[in-house]
Structure 1
Amino acid sequence: MKLIIFDVGGVVCSNTSVVDHLSSYLNLSRKQFLDFAYQSGLHKLQEGKVCVKDFWEKFSELYGKTIEEDLWAKFFKPDLIVETVEIILELKKKHRIVAGTNTIESHYKIHTARNDYRFFDSIYASHIIGISKPDTRFFNHILEKEKVKPEDTVFIDDTSENVESAAKLGIKSILFTSAQELRRQLPLIL
């Protein structure tokens, strides 16, 4: 393999979903929060097509109360998955390792400040490249930038829809369930 692409949330870091915290904080059901979030442009936020300030302004209109702080940042407290990091460090001895992550600017800044991306040779973040998984253009963008063929690439993600999308392009794809299971599966495809 010439390239291995790792998702970040749920694969390299745990505690990356803040939806339950935000729902509780705003006294909304998870469904209500997500309905408001998608109507406020969550998908556009992930693709860098709307800024955090504009997102929360739109959300505030739907919610009926003004939200003045970036709640995405307030509740984002990721933890590195040490076992996955160990695998990445081992793989880096022979392979180019990049991150391919759906994220938003607020979370990206926190990851960057914490130095969570230090293990990667490059970072492909949805809000920067303007495309998010599972869109096949996300993977094609990485392949093009890295100058590699799908068959020379492995992709690891904890979302089956993303794994299936990458696999359709001929990328060897692994659905992440645990670092231990990843360690077992990698030798079968490398």
Structure 2
Amino acid sequence: MNASVSIKVVLFDLGNVLVDLGDRSELNTMLNASGNEAEIWLKWLHSPLVKRFDSGLISFEEFAENMVEDVPSLGSVDEFKTRFSNWPKGLYCGALNLVKSVKPQYHRAILSNTNEAHWSRLMSEMKLAGAFQSYFASHQMGLVKPDKEIYLKVVSSLGVMPEEILFIDDNRVNVEAARNIGIIAHQVKGVNQSKAVLQQYHIV
């Protein structure tokens, strides 16, 4: 595909792309909600409390206290903190190999809505530290997807044109927001779908 000539950056989301978040039952419980997976994730992305936490505006303790107050069935604050910390199950099989298979002429980067409770696990336990050349974590940037500002910040920081970035994310709303500023973006879930998109652009 000719588009591969202009692409300079491969931008990965983490949850449900490289990192296994399990089935939606955990998310349903935390939001005290039901519905299909897309609806549940949209509710999570649009939660003001989640947005403040993922933006780094409130601490893990404050987030947990508010969650337990909103959804008493979550148990105590400490029980919720343990449960939430363990939510990411680990990398999907083959995730690191996929990242390493990206051809060396492409800049590898992460753009993830994440938080202080998960970031250290992602970097150390899951060995994502050093696998990428740029890391854009929402809680460190003070911005979250799908807000336009986070994409503009990433583009500016990378020093490239939006159309020189290939972005893969599991949430349609995040993909559409990226496309709205000119980023080439695809909705995927898991390693196999991610690999298929990268192969489509001859990036692996």
TM-score (norm 2): 0.76
Deviation at 1:94, TM superposition (A): 1.7
Are the equivalent residues in 2 in contact too, given 1:20–1:30 (CA < 8 A)? no
**Residue 162 of structure 2 is aligned to residue 150 of structure 1:** yes
Kindly state the Cα deviation for residue 149 of structure 1 after the two structures are TM-superposed: 0.7
Residue 169 (structure 1) aligned with residue 181 (structure 2): yes
Change (3 A) 1:46 1:187: same
1:68 alignment partner in structure 2: 78
Quote the residue 1:85 is aligned against: 96
Matching of residue 20 in structure 1 with residue 30 in structure 2 = no
Residue 111 of structure 1, CA deviation:
1.0
Show the counterpart of 1:98: 109
Mapped partners of 1:59, 1:134: distance in 2: 22
TM-score normalised by length of structure 1 = 0.81
What's 2:4 paired with? none
Q: Percent identity?
A: 23
Structure 2 distance, partners of 1:163, 1:4, is 14
Q: Deviations over 1:29-80 (max 9, x none)?
A: 445xx79xx47x221001111111111223343445642352321x324221
Aligned 8 A contact 1:172 1:189 in 2: no
Distance 2:194 2:65 in 1: 41
Give ranges in structure 1 of 5+ residues lacking alignment: none
Matched residue SS, 2:146: coil
1:55 maps onto 2:63 in alignment: yes
The CA deviation at 1:22 is: 7.1
Q: Using CA pairs below 8 Å that are at least 6 residues apart, which structure has the higher relative contact order?
A: 2
**Aligned residue in 2 for 1:110:** 121
Aligned length: 183
CA distance in 1, matches of 2:57, 2:182: 29
CA contact (8 A) 1:117 1:123 kept: no
The CA deviation string for residues 59-116 of structure 1, in whole angstroms up to 9 with x for no partner, is: 343445642352321x324221233432321215121000000011101121122123
Q: 1:47 to 1:16 in 2, by over 3 A?
A: farther
- Residue 178 of structure 1 deviates from its aligned partner by 4.3
Cα distance change of structure 1 residues 108 and 87 upon mapping to structure 2, 3 Å threshold: same
